Structures are given as C-alpha cells and as structure tokens.
C-alpha cells in the first residue's frame, strides 16, 4: 500500500502558515522529549515504534479523524510502516521522507531586506535546529555568514541568482553545529574570515576578523563593519551591514541572550557578555534590524518565516537586556542553564579543523535542538 510523503519543505510551510497538523512521533520517548517538530497549531502523540509492531488498533482513539496526519521517526523507515498500518485502518497518513535527520538539515531561504544599489540580504532558516545563516548579495558577489555544513544549498542558491561567493564569515567558533565555511572556501576560493581570539587553535588559514574591518561586496560598497562583542565566546563578533542590519551572532537573540558557558568559561566571560549587550550595543542605532544566528522557539518566526526584530524593540522587550542589577544578570547567565549541546566539544574541534568526522558522524553530532541561549 502506498502512503503519502510530506516533505520537510511542506512541513515548514505549514509552520509558517500556522496550519493544523497532527504528528504521530514513533521515536523513543527520550528522543521525542529532547527534540520534536514544533508548530503553533501542531499536536503530537508519541509512542515508540516497537510498541506498534502488532498493529495500531490500540492507538486509534488517540488520533483525530479531522486533522492532517504525519508520522515521524528518526530516519524514515519506521514511519512508512506505521503510516501504511494507519492507512489499512482507513486513515489518510503521510510520512516524513528522511525522518528527523532530514528535518535537522533543511534550510529555507527567505529574503529579509534590500541593501544599497540593488543588493539584497537573505536569511537561511534551519527550521529543525534553529540555526540562521545569511547571504549578502551585490553586483554578482555574495558574502556568506555563519554557514551550516549543508553547503550545496548556498552554492546552488548563489548560482540561481547569478552571484559568486567571495567572502565567508563565522561570527564565532560554533559549538552547536558544524560550520560549512571551510568547505565553501575550498570550492569558491572565497576569503574565510574568523575572529582571531576564537581561532587560536584552528589548523587552517583564515583572515582575521577584527573590530574596524570593512569588507566590500560587489562594487557597490556594502560595508560589513565588524563589531567586537565578546561574551558567548571570547572572540564573538557582530556585523553592521549597510547601516541597516545588525548580525548579532549568538550574542543576542529575539527572545533571549547568548550563554557564555560553552567553552567552560561562564564566570570569566559573563562580564564581557554584559558589556557587549549593555554598552557596545547601546551605542548602535535602535533602528538597526537584528538578525541573530539562532532562534529558540517557533514563536520568534515572523509571518514570512524569517527571524528579525529592531534593536530598540529588543531593548524594551528582551528580558536579557533589561536587568539593571549586575549580580542578577550574572546569576541569570551562569546558573540554571539548559543542557549543553550534544557533542559540543567534538563540534568545536571539528570547526577548528582538529578532527574531520565522516558525514554520517557529523549528522549524529548535530542531532537535537540548539542550546545556545540563556533561558
């Protein structure tokens, strides 16, 4: 019996459109609790696949007859079998091709604005993991910021709009996902920029990204001003693009702020984090549109599926920016932090070039939600 496939792109569209969807997740309970597909109008029911080997009759009462039904598992196979069982019981069920692995890797490009003289800026939303990367385009040249390891998507997108990637940036040494920076540089001969204070142990060549750097894309002078803003890491660097957009890396999110503990340096870096957010950022225009490197919850998505907000609005509404007492701030960012990202130390070493895991191993290292924020 054939069942429907519902692609990750279709599920993403349902999230953006706030459509209803009932998800039967047949992974183990611990995996489900750690990380699932979230949408404002999504409902979930979790039961491990092995409990359904004798049939699905026992769960029919849990599944609404009037909602679209998607079966999800880790890789795909189990969800196809369960969807087939449900179809035999008279339900219309779809499965997610590639399972949660595919969900983790999907990137959705969204245009977030225009820059000088016909240039554009695009946000690539990694909907299943909360990572956000960016492409600034002008006169046939492109700069890529905080690229994921799914490099083909950026290369194909740049080609589709007639642009060549000439500069690649990482705002900091990432600990929750593997950077695609080096791979893209190998294929494009672009310049790879890294904050030198985060690059003391890297094993490859890079251009030092420091406060005061101005990098021009195309011949229309889109200036990317690097703003040294330590706290999440000691080298964390923000960018002001074209005087309009603040790419805040993992320092500032829409609903939270960056955690300083992923290199084991929370107590040492909390002062840097406060200075970056409460002094350096306060000197910037409140009209700047903040474009962070992550989002935490689906509620942070705008109506078009992008993630952004004016800096002035965040100064007023983001709890992490409104704590006047320094000791209270210190407690917020050093105590009661969420678990650290899966395999974060191994991911850091991969991004330094010290280890080079096989692709399947890289997938496993990244599985799970992002945990870069103070909650």
Per annotation, catalytic residue among 6, 26, 72, 73: 73
Tell me the C-alpha distance between 117 and 125, whole Å. Answer: 25
DSSP conformational letter for 57: G
Let me know if 73 is a catalytic residue: yes
DSSP 69: E
Q: How far is CA 289 from CA 83, 100, 145, 241, in A?
A: 43, 32, 16, 10
3-state secondary structure of 27: coil
Q: Which residues of 68-102 are buried (b: 16+ CB within 10 A; e: fewer)?
A: bbbbbbbebebbbbbbbbbbeeebebbbbebbbbb
Q: What are residue 240's DSSP bridge partners?
A: 225, 246
Judging by beta carbons within 10 Å of its beta carbon (0-12, 13-18, 19+), is residue 346 exposed, middle or buried?
A: middle
Burial of 171 (0-12, 13-18, 19+ CB in 10 A): buried
Which residues have a catalytic role annotated?
A: 73
């Amino acid at each position: 019996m054939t069942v429907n496939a519902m692609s990750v792109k279709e599920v993403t569209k349902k999230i953006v459109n706030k459509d209803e969807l009932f998800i039967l997740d047949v992974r183990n309970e611990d995996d489900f609790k750690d990380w699932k597909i979230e949408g404002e109008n999504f409902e979930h029911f979790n039961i491990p696949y092995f409990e359904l080997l004798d049939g699905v009759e026992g769960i029919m009462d849990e599944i609404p007859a009037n909602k679209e039904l998607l079966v999800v598992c880790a890789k795909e196979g189990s969800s196809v079998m369960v969807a087939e069982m449900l179809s035999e019981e008279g339900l219309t069920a779809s499965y997610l091709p590639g399972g949660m692995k595919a969900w983790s890797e999907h990137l959705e490009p969204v245009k977030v604005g225009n820059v000088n003289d016909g240039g554009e800026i695009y946000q690539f939303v990694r909907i299943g993991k909360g990572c956000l990367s960016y492409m600034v385009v002008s006169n046939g040249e492109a700069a890529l910021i905080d690229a994921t390891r799914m490099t083909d998507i950026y290369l194909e997108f740049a080609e589709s709009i007639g642009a060549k990637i000439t500069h690649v940036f990482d705002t900091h040494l990432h600990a929750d996902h593997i950077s695609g920076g080096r791979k893209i540089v190998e294929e494009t001969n672009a310049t790879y920029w890294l904050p030198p204070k985060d690059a003391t142990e890297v094993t490859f060549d890079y251009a030092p990204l420091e406060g005061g750097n101005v990098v021009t894309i195309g011949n229309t002078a889109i200036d990317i001003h690097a703003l040294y803003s330590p706290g999440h890491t000691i080298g964390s660097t923000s960018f002001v693009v074209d005087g309009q957009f603040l790419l805040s890396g993992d320092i500032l999110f829409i609903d939270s702020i960056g955690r300083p503990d992923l290199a084991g340096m929370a107590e040492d870096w909390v002062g840097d984090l406060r200075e970056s957010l409460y002094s350096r950022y306060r000197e910037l225009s409140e009209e700047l549109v903040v474009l962070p490197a992550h989002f935490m919850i689906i509620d942070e998505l705008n109506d078009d599926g992008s993630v952004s907000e004016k800096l002035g609005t965040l100064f007023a509404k983001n709890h992490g920016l409104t704590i006047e007492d320094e000791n209270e701030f210190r407690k917020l960012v050093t105590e009661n932090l969420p678990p650290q990202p899966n395999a974060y130390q191994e991911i850091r070493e991969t991004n330094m070039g010290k280890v080079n895991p096989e692709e399947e191993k890289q997938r496993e290292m990244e599985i799970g939600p992002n945990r870069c924020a103070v909650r």
